[in-house]
Amino acid sequence: MAASGKSGQRIEPSFGGNADDDDDDFRIEASDRVTGGGRKPTRGKSAPAPKKKTQRSKRGGSRRGSGNGGGFIGLVRTLFYWCIVLGIWGAMGVGGLVLYYGARMPNAESWSIPERPPNVKILAVNGDNIANRGTTGGEALSLENMSPYIPQAVIAIEDRRFYSHFGVDPLGLARAMLTNVTTGRMVQGGSTLTQQLAKNLFLSPERTLERKVQEVLLAFWLEQKYSKDQILAMYLNRVFFGSNAYGVEAASRRYFNKSARDVNLGEAALLAGLLKAPSRLSPARDPKAAEERAQVVLGAMREEGFVTDSEIKTAMSQAPTKAKSYWSGAEHYVADMVMDQLPGMIGEIKEDLIVDTTIDLNLEKKAEEAISATLDADGKKLDASQAALVSIDGTGAIRALVGGKDYAESQFDRASKAKRQPGSAFKPFVYAAALEIGRTPMSIRNDGPVRIGNWTPENYDQKYRGEVTLADALANSLNTIAAQLVMEVGPQNVVKVAHRLGIDSEMQANASIALGTSEVSLVELTSAYAPFMNGGFKATPHVIRRISKADGTVLYENTYDNPPRVLDPAIVSEMNQMMVRVLTNGTGKKAQLKGWEAAGKTGTTQSFRDALFVGYTSNLTTGVWFGNDDGKSMKKVTGGGLPAKAWHDFMVTAHEGLSPSPLFGTTGVQPVFDDGGTPPAPTGDVLSGDPNAFPAPPVGVDGSMAVQQTRPLPEGNGGLVPPADVGETTGATKRTTLFDILTGG
């Protein structure tokens, strides 16, 4: 109710104060009466002066503020007010930054997921994986195809609310900020998996405000355009796991030598733990740190309910992962060879490819074991530090290739890229050329001193045996006989035969080619022996059978199924008869295979720098090299030593379970003698009046065997010389083959 004052004026009660305030708080002067409608109050003559009214009003307002709007509540109201104001201005500022940095980005309509760098999946002949090559080092897998532990581990340690946030996790960001503030250093990051994917796909790694704003905008776009599973799969297939491995498949192959499909709980935890610091935590660099981080991940998975205590106990009881510092295994030499050849077959690699090779992984492992075992047993004491092996079948398909002792230590492929002198391993091409002009294994030549121009070839033991058959000469690797045959046939014709059979390297057509002074690779040398094994057909060496797209479209398929004939079958038969004797009676005895007929030839270069053995059965032709990368001499290692031993060990395991079969043309064949009967008499001690016509070879001889039988040197001022000038025959009937007709021979 309203109360009446002494003047009869109505006084409006005040409700701004508390009940126990002084009565003065309720008194209002008559002149202060408030009228409705917002009209001005009417002043009477006795109304206080305006100045006094103002003072009373201030006092009254001050009294009221101390009772209602002052103190703690007033402070709260003030803070709340300014928070709202600052929040509005902050939102406007953030909005401005977003608009500004967003305007600097390309139009959202043009945004698209960058193509993942193409992967090349390289498969063995049975479909097993040899390696993945490309920038990522592994193929892309869907979530359904990879181990379920992998996404669980990554979510548990990197983004626990991945399936509930909208690209940015405010709670996670606040938690990370609080943790970093309390610890005084950067311990946690607030970025979600979506933000990390956006950064990896579109942005540079620099830490700037602009990049962070753009990262958030791109995260929103990713969440709007793709499902959570798609985002997670893209992330797992592209993120860096250290040691040059991008994506879970590459990382799994790199660290565990298995597919991400088969990763167990402990391995998945280790992979997820790498994301914090891929290079520092790599098990190839610091296995202990990697294992400790993996246990942190396992704890996070347990907290999220992904795994049970018993599963964690099992995972922790497993042996820690031991990863080599680099890709290991001889099959990686094959993978490198494939990658070298791909551009020449299909051009630039722009999409995922599947390459089917000719490699038998079982033989590949056996080849690597044979090389490693031989080097480990005798390499150090004989100063032999490296070796290589290549094995091909009758079509030229490479079944096994080892480019060195250890791929992890050296990735240089000594089987296909290194070119070295083959030594006496080249002699079969000299003898084949001689057989093509009418010589036979039973042809007789005199093993004695020979001088060609200013070159005087000598046998390894510097002894001479007098009259010998060509079969004996090849078995005992007599240099004098090989030099005579080169001059009978002509160096140019020897080069033609070698090229025809499979040697691609350029060779010098001089007399010293008899002793293998022109450099060749082990792959081409071995493939050139294959026509002796397969009956006379060219065996072009190849490792790639087919190249396909991921959808199965075939881009390339080899056509080596119809090879040309390069040797007459009769020549093949005679060569096989002679080279069998290399193993039974000659320099390659250590290569003999129990129950199998085998043939081959040893080779050793000057000062024992290189030692080779190339041999074959009816199933495989295999070449082996031992030496040092720097050309340092070994301790009297010959082709009949370490190479023959390693060849034997590999071929024994490679032929396990197979039924023995004879070599082509070695059964039921009678020896054939020259139509001329005996060799022609020597015509002098110098072939040409020009002593420089046939310069001395820069490197030399085969050191495969010390021959026991010797004969005294013939009397006179000269020794045996080639019976005719280069390219001339001695009257023997020349065989006419298909290649003679084609080449005009």
CA dihedral angle for residue 499, residue 589, residue 621, residue 654, rounded to 10 degrees: -170
Grouping H, G, I as helix, E, B as strand and the rest as coil, residue 444 is strand
Q: Which long-range contacts (CB under 8 A, 24 or more apart) does 306-311 make?
A: 306/152, 306/153, 306/156, 307/149, 307/152, 307/265, 311/265
Residues 6+ apart with CB under 8 A from 344: none
642, 615, 699: which is closest to 425 by C-alpha? 615
Are 521 and 625 within 8 A, CB to CB?
A: no
Our answer to whether residue 618 is catalytic in this structure is no
Grouping H, G, I as helix, E, B as strand and the rest as coil, residue 459 is coil
606, 637, 639: which is closest to 623 by C-alpha? 639
Is 475 exposed, middle or buried (CB count within 10 Å of its CB: 0-12, 13-18, 19+)? buried
- As a whole number of angstroms, the distance between CA 503 and CA 525 comes to 6
508, 515, 421, 510: which is closest to 460 by C-alpha? 515
Residues 6+ apart with CB under 8 A from 538: 396, 500, 501, 502, 531, 563, 564, 565, 566
Q: How far, in Å, are 30, 31, 364 from residue 45 at the CA level? A: 12, 10, 120
Query: Pick the catalytic residue: 424, 521, 527, 618?
Result: 424
741's enclosing H/E stretch is helix 738-743
DSSP sequence for 482-542: HHHHHHHH-HHHHHHHHHHHT--S----SGGGGGT-S-EEHHHHHHHHHHHHHTSB----B
245, 312, 313: which is closest to 284 by C-alpha? 245
List residues bridging with 11 in a β-sheet: 3
626's enclosing H/E stretch is strand 621-627
Query: Pick the catalytic residue: 139, 158, 364, 488?
Result: 158
How many H-runs (helices) and E-runs (strands) does the chain carry?
A: 21, 16
CA 253, 255, 258: angle at the middle one, nearest 5? 35
The sheet with strand 554-557 has its strands ordered as 129-134, 119-123, 353-357, 544-549, 554-557
Grouping H, G, I as helix, E, B as strand and the rest as coil, residue 296 is helix
Rounded (10°) angle between helices 361-374 and 642-654: 150
Our answer to whether residue 158 is catalytic in this structure is yes
Catalytic residues: 158, 424
